[in-house]
Amino acid sequence: MKKEYSIINGPSKFVLFNTFPDKSDGHRRSVRFDIKAESSKWSDVHVVINNISWEDGSAESWCFEGFVTRFGWLPKGNATGQRVSGYFRTDRRNCGCLKVLDEHDPLN
């Protein structure tokens, strides 16, 4: 079952797009999204972005796909590889959603 969470803070457009293609040191960099989770008021989720597309013509609304490298409160390495997709506005930075696509959702 896909679970959807509200993004309450996220990266600027500059950070989002400079992180997307970066693999200069052999490792992909992740971006941080703060989400509203049921288990707590908020949590940080670190996501490596594999795909970005325009959601509309504003150049501020983005659809993305990727995988989780870290859920903030879990020990490092837990939940690595969880597939996610989402929508995010870089002008507001507090507007969007993140969907966990895998059946096992570590937020529950």
How many angstroms separate the CA atoms of 65 and 82, rounded?
11
Q: What is the pLDDT of residues 77-99, one digit of tens each?
A: 455 678 999 999 999 888 899 99
Q: In which band, very low, low, confident or very high, does the pLDDT at 41 lie, cut at 50, 70 and 90?
A: low
Mean pLDDT value of segment 25-47: 79
How is residue 10 written in tokens? 């996220």
H/E segment holding residue 5? strand 3-9
Distance set, CA 101 to CA 12, 84, 94, 97, 104 (Å): 24, 5, 21, 13, 9
d(CA 60, CA 43): 24
Nearest to 63 by CA among 99, 30, 37, 34: 99
The pLDDT value recorded for residue 101 is 87
**H helices of the chain, where?**
13-19
Task: State the Cα–Cα distance between residues 1 and 18, nearest whole angstrom.
Answer: 32
Q: What is the mean pLDDT of the chain?
A: 81
Per-domain boundaries in the chain: 3-100
